[in-house]
Chain A
Amino acid sequence: MTISSRGLERAWELYQDRLSYARVMASQGKKVIGYFCCYTPVELMTALDLVPYRIGGRTDEPVKEADAYLETCVCSYVRSAFDLAICGEYDFLHGLVVPHTCDAMWRILNIWKLHKPLDYTYFIEVPHMVGPSSCHFLEQELKLFKKSLEQLVGRKITEEALRDAIDTHNRARALLQEIYQYRKADPPLISGTEIARVLAAGRGIPVEEFNELLLQVIHDIRTRDSESRRKKPRVLIYGGEVDDPAIIELIEECGAAVVMDDLCTGSRSFWEPVKLKENAMESLAAHYVDDIRCPRTFRPGKPEERFQYLLDFAREFNVQGIILYLYRFCDGHALEAPGLKAYLNRKGFPVLHLEEEYTLLTKGQLRTRFQAFIETLG
């Protein structure tokens, strides 16, 4: 594997080689633990020198074998990810952690275990409600998860090690926030495609390496000037597990600059840091209950309260239009979308609401929809 010294190029290479990179780590004795969703407390894995690997699918390949094991009503992201597992692409995983985030996540672990047994699996019950009792419940859940990981590795996580791991992940969150600030320039100093590649690279490497990569990326960006770039309509993309940079690239090919996101694989997973208090486990639980704005969590309040954060994003990043890019069979987003669209329209933002499969094998129709929308933003 050739590693470029330049951050953005290296990010692209790491993303493209993510599976082989993970295999190398596994062959060198690292325990690579797959996980789904931004609700898995990766800090606990990092504290034990385990390598958390965010499970993804492939939008550039059709599902080959998973259809024999998963019903047609299951979202195509989960189907694609499981297909990779069935086809052996995830054989390097030592274990798999699944948080109860949505109905598909609730079911997938047992199916995975039956057809692809792993040395270690764990299911975390994550509350769907917010509030003190939910935080306390999740803290107890995470203590058991911690205990389970300790048994896997054969040593305890000290308070100091956990605080260090949280600090390291918070460092990644802060660096990503810094990179996102460069999107505010018009034209932005880093494209949406480049950021998507950086984020994708980070999902398969240890967080310490990711932090080095992020510093390199920041260095790259600082040497750029925005004057030489062309101004384009600025859009925000909202959705779930949009983990393939090719989707962002397609939007940008159609003439827009993707300057902000609210995606499970984007800002949603890092925008808020873990607010470390005296008790690290308590801080971790509070973070994973309160700070991640996925529609899988019920938050009381009218649309004005629930979606204010998105309006803030749109205004802060000077967005002209918003794309709701949702996957079919994702109930959380599907039930949120009409109300969210109406709210954003009321606030003066044009919205393109798409319900798509997790595939880019046929881009033509999607390209037409993006082009038509971007033209209206002119």
Chain B
Amino acid sequence: MADSTDIKKEKRTQSARNVRPLVESMYLRAHQARERGQKVAYCMVMSQYDEILAAMDIVPVWTENYGGLCATLGTAQPFLEKAEAEGYSNLICGYARTGLGFDALRAETGEAPQTPDGGMPMPDMLLGSSIGCDTRFKWYQALGHYMDVPIYCIDVIVPPVNRNLYEIKDFYVKYQAEQLRGLVKFLEKTTGCQLDPDRLMSIIHRAEEARHWWWEAQQLCRAIPAPMTARDHFNIFVPHHFMIGEEATLDFYKELYQELKDRVDSGIGVVDNERYRLLFAGGLPPWHSMGIFSYFGSLGAVFPAQLAYPPPDPFIIPDNINDPIELMALRSFERFTYRWEQAHRGCGDFWVQHILDLVPEFNIDGLVMHGVMSCRATSMGQIYYQNAVQKYAKLRTLFIGSDIVDIRTYSEAQTKIQIDNFLETVETYKSNK
């Protein structure tokens, strides 16, 4: 068992430490934008529309991020309780409950709660999507109960893995482009401004460059010892997910790459005695108790990779596409299907394929999955992933259970016991390999 002194020994990157100030500035900018009359939009991550917002000077407020932020800072409870008092089930997404509670309080008192980071500014529009889970559009629909602002949602389709990609590509890409064009039309009407395609194309290029550097930085984490802590992994995705297209974001990932490269070149790991290399292979992080990853570290367990917020798979911008919307639609299809052909030939599931790809690349000894009681999208299938992976790679799996936001679902003592037992089995597995 490790004590708190051990836990402090993890060597965090400076890049990850720079994220919190970026988040503070993100909310400050959103408030300032609101004050000067610039349009502010509530947004959902991974909706494939990020660069369009940047090109139209619409300031995004990422409502899921606010849920995670509240959980990390321990300020979510009043929002969760308010949402539940409003009749929302305590089983719906923790982010959504936080956001619904926040906006219900704003509607009730006429003032937005100020903590943390000044709260979320009142949006001029709600931009949902269907990517990943149903909550991403149902949440904003529910917000109609608390605010009278326009809402627009788009489909973002992940192609089923059992399909012939050549057979579906044209109409899947066409549909995605049509959905994005519908959004642009809505934004132009709402803001009174036209989208500048050249500006959008330039932002896409900058965004792709940032993604490239993040991807390259992630590849450095194959090194033994691992150069970045699990908590850092769960911080450094923030500029990409919430500030893509900005120069500062590009600079962030270039600096991250350099910092990790320096560490790898010097053989600097995140713990003194790296013994186990684990993959966070399912679920979203328990934002309310991220210290648990330091507990792993204190026992010599590192996470060279994670699948909650991995860098997007590589995409090379084709020379022959001049329409940025068409390019974004194609990019969406190509990224979602990056591992399809291989999955098609082998395990039949893209998520399992992703795990199987990472295991040898990052020398993984075991899998950790977080069953999030309020998130079907990332939790349903974890047992299946474990069972499917076992067909190809004999790996031990730890399932921990709690929520992304709601700490009432969590037992630290029990989780630590689970971790201790799990690492013992990994040790045995490694010895017998």
Known A102-B134, A133-B178, A133-B179: A355·B384 in contact at CB below 8 Å: no
B135 touches A331 (CB 8 A): yes
- Chain B 373-405 interface 0/1 with A at a Cβ cutoff of 8 Å (1 = within): 111110111111001100000000000010000
Q: How far is the CB of A163 from chain B (nearest CB, A)?
A: 24
B160 adjacent to A123 (CB under 8 Å): yes
Q: How far is the CA of A144 from the CA of B380 in the complex (A)?
A: 27
Interface presence of B318 (CB below 8 A) = no
Task: Please indicate the chain B residues that have their CB under 8 angstroms from the CB of A334 in the complex.
Answer: 88-89, 91-92
Q: A63-89: which have CB < 8 Å to B?
A: 68-75
Within 8 A of B (CB), among A344-359: 353, 355
Q: Which residues of B contact A338 (CB under 8 A)?
A: 86-88, 142, 145
B70 near A: Cβ within 8 Å? no
Query: Are A129 and B155 in touch, CB under 8 angstroms?
Result: yes
Q: Contact: A74 with B376, CB < 8 Å?
A: yes
Chain B's nearest CB lies how many Å from the CB of A78? 9
Which residues of the partner chain B approach A337 to less than 8 Å between Cβ atoms? Answer: 87, 89
Whether, in the assembled complex, B182 has its beta carbon less than 8 Å from a beta carbon of chain A, the answer is yes
B128 at the interface (CB under 8 A from A): yes
Name the residue on A nearest B167 (C-beta): A144
Number of interface residues, chain B, beta carbon within 8 A: 57
Interface residues of B in 95-126 (CB under 8 A from A): 96
User: Which of B133, B142, B159, B348 has the most chain A CB atoms inside 10 A of its CB?
Assistant: B142
Q: Which of A71, A113, A136, A353 contacts B175 (CB 8 A)?
A: A136
Among listed A29-37, A154-162, A296-304, interface-contacting one: A296-304
Size bracket, chain A contacts: 35 or more
Interface of B is mostly: mixed
Identify the closest chain A residue to B157 (Cβ). Answer: A125
B380-A70 in contact (CB<8A): yes
Residue of B nearest to A339 (CB): B145
Within 8 A of B (CB), among A94-141: 100, 102-104, 106-108, 110-111, 113-115, 121, 123, 125, 127-129, 131, 133-134, 136-137, 140
Say yes or no for A178: interface residue by CB 8 A criterion.
no
Alpha-carbon distance between A339 and B137 when the two chains are bound, in angstroms: 15
With an 8 A cutoff between CB atoms, is A41 at the interface?
Answer: no
**Which of chain B's residues have a CB closer than 8 A to the CB of A111?**
381, 384
Bound CA–CA A39/B40 (angstroms): 36
A373 cross-chain contacts in B, Cβ below 8 A: none
| CB-defined contacts of B163 to chain A, threshold 8 Å | 144
A329 at the interface (CB under 8 A from B): yes
CB-based nearest A residue for B156: A128
Say whether A273 faces chain B, with CB atoms less than 8 Å apart. Answer: no
Q: Does the CB pair B381–A110 fall under 8 Å?
A: yes
Q: Which residues of A contact B19 (CB under 8 A)?
A: none
Closest Cβ of chain B to A354, distance in Å, is: 11
Given A128-B134, A133-B182, check contact A73 B167 (CB 8 Å): no
Across the interface, name the chain B residue whose C-beta is closest to A341: B87
| A58 is an interface residue with CB less than 8 A from chain B | no
B367 within 8 A of A: no
Partner of A127, one of B89, B128, B155, B383: B155
Distance A295 CA – B142 CA, assembled complex (angstroms): 11
Q: Flag whether A275 is at the interface (Cβ < 8 A).
A: no
Interface: A335 (CB within 8 A): yes
Question: In whole angstroms, what is the CA distance A295 to B135 when docked?
Answer: 11
* CB pair A335 B160 closer than 8 Å: no
Q: Which of B144, B167, B349 has a CB less than 8 Å from the CB of A303?
A: B144
Residue among A69, A106, A128, A328 making CB contact with B91, cutoff 8 Å: A328
Contact B380 A68, beta carbon cutoff 8 Å:
no
What residues of chain A lie closer than 8 Å to B96, measured between beta carbons?
A: 335
Contact of A73 among B133, B139, B372, B387 (CB under 8 A): B372
Minimum CB distance partner of B104 in chain A? A338
Most chain B beta-carbon neighbours within 10 Å: one of A68, A114, A121, A341? A114
How far apart are A65's CB and chain B's nearest CB, in angstroms? 12
Cβ–Cβ < 8 Å partners of B387 in chain A = 69, 114-115
User: B153 at interface (Cβ–Cβ under 8 A)?
Assistant: yes
Which residues of B from 286 to 345 have beta carbons under 8 Å from A?
Answer: none
Decide if A372 is an interface residue (CB 8 Å cutoff): no
- Taking a contact as CB atoms under 8 Å apart, the answer to whether A114 and B388 are in contact is yes
A128 lies within 8 A of B130 (CB): yes
Residue from the list A115, A140, A328, A331 in contact with B134, Cβ < 8 A: A331
Q: How far is the CA of A102 from the CA of B376 in the complex (A)?
A: 10
Q: Is the CB of A73 within 8 A of B182?
A: no
Chain A residues near B175 (CB, 8 Å)? 127, 133-134, 136-137
> In the assembled complex, how far is the CB of residue A219 from the closest CB belonging to chain B, in whole angstroms?
42
Name B157-209 residues within 8 Å CB distance of A. 157, 159-160, 162-163, 167-168, 171-172, 174-175, 178-179, 182
Chain A residue with Cβ nearest B371:
A71
Inter-chain contacts of A353 with B (CB < 8 A):
87
Q: Which residue of B lies closest to A75 (CB)?
A: B376
Let me know if B380 and A69 touch, CB within 8 A: no
Residues in A whose Cβ lies below 8 Å from that of B18: none
B278 at the interface (CB under 8 A from A): no
Which A residues are CB-close (under 8 A) to B154?
129
Residues A310-358 near B (CB distance < 8 A): 328-329, 331-332, 334-339, 341-342, 353, 355
Complex partner residue of A71 from B139, B152, B174, B383, CB under 8 angstroms: B383
- B380 and A303 within 8 A (CB): no
Pair A129/B384 contact, Cβ less than 8 Å? no
Q: How far is the CA of A73 from the CA of B379 in the complex (A)?
A: 7
With A70-B380, A140-B171, A295-B138 given, is the CB distance from A125 to B144 under 8 Å?
A: no
CB closest chain-A residue, reference B141: A298
A335 with B380: CB separation less than 8 A: no
Does B58 sit within 8 A of A, measured CB to CB? no
- Report B53-92 CB contacts with A as 1/0, cut-off 8 Å: 0000000000000000000000000000000001111011
Contact of B155 among A70, A102, A134 (CB under 8 A): A134
**Residue on A with the closest CB to B87?**
A338
Q: In the complex, what residue of chain B is closest to A133 when comparing beta carbons?
A: B178
User: In the complex, what distance in Å separates the CA atom of A295 from the CA atom of B130?
Assistant: 13
Q: Which of B92, B130, B134, B373 has the largest count of A CB atoms less than 10 A from its CB?
A: B134
Given A73-B373, A335-B142, also A107-B381 (CB < 8 A): yes
Distance between A45 CB and nearest chain B CB, rounded to angstroms: 18
Q: Is B250 an interface residue (CB 8 A)?
A: no
Interface residues of B in 10-35 (CB under 8 A from A): none
Q: Within the complex, what minimum Cβ distance (angstroms) separates A155 from chain B?
A: 21
Question: Could you tell me if B88 and A335 are in contact, using CB atoms closer than 8 angstroms?
Answer: yes
* A127-B175, A128-B137 given; 8 more Cβ-contact pairs under 8 Å: A107-B380, A107-B384, A134-B155, A144-B167, A331-B92, A334-B92, A339-B142, A339-B144
User: Which residues from chain B sit less than 8 Å from chain A, CB to CB?
Assistant: 86-89, 91-93, 96, 128, 130, 133-135, 137-139, 141-142, 144-145, 151-155, 157, 159-160, 162-163, 167-168, 171-172, 174-175, 178-179, 182, 348-349, 371-377, 379-384, 387-388, 401
10 sample A-B contacts, Cβ–Cβ < 8 Å, listed by A number = A70-B380, A102-B134, A106-B377, A128-B134, A129-B130, A137-B172, A332-B138, A335-B134, A338-B142, A339-B144
Task: Give me the 4 closest cross-chain CB pairs, A-B, nearest first.
Answer: A338-B87, A335-B138, A133-B178, A128-B130
